[in-house]
Structure 1
Amino acid sequence: MASVVETVQKEVEPLIESHQFDLVDIEFVKEGKSWYLRVYIDKPGGITIEDCAEVSDQISEKLDSLEPDPFPQAYFLEVSSPGAERPIKTSNDWQRAVGQYIHISLYAPIDGHKVFEGTLDEYSKKTIQLTYMEKTRKISKQFELKQIGFARFAIKF
């Protein structure tokens, strides 16, 4: 049996793509006594409140029409932008991140460091090339994707 997130993704992804938006992530989580279904969408140039409202209405209609109901309990639907420091998870995310400033956390340290922030120069299915500053030196280093525990866009200060 498919999970709630898998069911929702299958149903709403074509709807989101029909707007030329990207489905970034879906969460179905309990916070306190309430359940939340969060759908994160994005597009080049960023998502607007109006985009979220329009997609939210359409997702709500779509999910309300499903038989049998995939939700074991009542929930709140939230459709939003993933934010400026959104996670990088999919191949499409990595491709869009080329040339951008990103943050990566590794499973195990390399050269004594587990966290790196820099510009993503290249992406392939197995590796990335990141240019970062170490004190006053600019370093370009290749990382295997399997070494990376978490990646996100970052804001450079």
Structure 2
Amino acid sequence: MAFQEIVEQTVTGLGYELVDIERSAGGLLRITIDLPWSPGQELFVNVEDCEKVTRQLQFALEVEGTEYQRLEVSSPGLDRPLKSEKDFERFVGSQIDVTLKAPLGAAANGGVHANRKKFRGTLEKEGDVWQIVWSEAPAAKPGAKVSKNRASAPVQALGFRLDELKEARLAPVVDFKGRKPKTVGES
């Protein structure tokens, strides 16, 4: 049985989803797992989940005679990679970072630098087309008053197909204070 199949069968057999497999120099074997997702449900991998998968993988890999020095099983983390259509469906409305395989070139109509391949914005889906929406406006500094007369930067959108992406990840958004910004109409 192939190495990838062993890992995938073991992880899915325990009720988890295989996100990524990485083998690196020095014999490190890094496995990233997540809990299966369904709309309206958000569960997270914890340390006990990683321990359970680690124990089972150590046994399965030993039986198959797979060579490795160190096994590391972890959750996808804040900057989780988005690889499948299901991942994109799950994170619609989230901030993401995308890297295109090829620069935009003339397709940007002068709105974006022709050699640009990396974008950060909100993931949206319009029909069957994925798009990332962003604004080039600089973020206001905390405590600074922003003039109501200041013209807002235009919102830009880039439509893409998944096969045009080199890489896509969630943009890590960390809120240390635990407070959310007030929305319009909220006091």
Which whole-Å CA distance do the structure 1 matches of 2:13 and 2:93 have between them? 27
User: Which runs of no fewer than 5 residues in structure 1 stay unpaired?
Assistant: none
Partner of 1:95, secondary structure, is helix
Which whole-Å CA distance do the structure 2 matches of 1:146 and 1:10 have between them? 24
Tell me if structure 1 keeps the 8 A contact 2:27–2:70.
yes
* Matching residue of 1:92: 86
Q: Deviations over 1:55-96 (max 9, x none)?
A: 100111111111xx243xx42111111211022122332222
* Matching residue of 1:128: 130
Given residue 90 of structure 2, which amino acid in structure 1 is its aligned partner?
R
Give the CA RMSD over aligned residues. 2.4
TM-score where L is the length of structure 1 = 0.78
Q: Name which one, 1 or 2, has greater alpha-carbon Rg.
A: 2
Which whole-Å CA distance do the structure 1 matches of 2:10 and 2:33 have between them? 11
TM-score where L is the length of structure 2 = 0.67
Q: Deviations over 1:23-49 (max 9, x none)?
A: 01001111xxx2111110112432111
* Matching residue of 1:144: 161
Q: Report deviation, 1:14.
A: 2.6
Q: Does 1:23 align with 2:23?
A: no
Q: Deviations over 1:113-143 (max 9, x none)?
A: 3221111112888x52222123233233312
Which whole-Å CA distance do the structure 2 matches of 1:124 and 1:70 have between them? 44
Tell me if structure 1 keeps the 8 A contact 2:10–2:60.
no
* Matching residue of 1:35: 27
Q: Report deviation, 1:20.
A: 3.0
Tell me if structure 1 keeps the 8 A contact 2:122–2:134.
yes
* Matching residue of 2:63: 65
Percent identical residues: 32
Q: 1:124 to 1:65 in 2, by over 3 A?
A: farther
Q: 1:138 to 1:19 in 2, by over 3 A?
A: farther
Given residue 150 of structure 1, which amino acid in structure 2 is its aligned partner?
E
After TM superposition, the runs of 4+ consecutive aligned structure 1 residues lying more than 4 A away are none
1:12 alignment partner, one of 7, 10, 14: 7
Tell me if structure 1 keeps the 8 A contact 2:98–2:165.
yes
* Matching residue of 2:96: 102
User: Which runs of no fewer than 5 residues in structure 2 stay unpaired?
Assistant: 36-41, 138-152, 175-187
Q: 1:95 to 1:9 in 2, by over 3 A?
A: farther
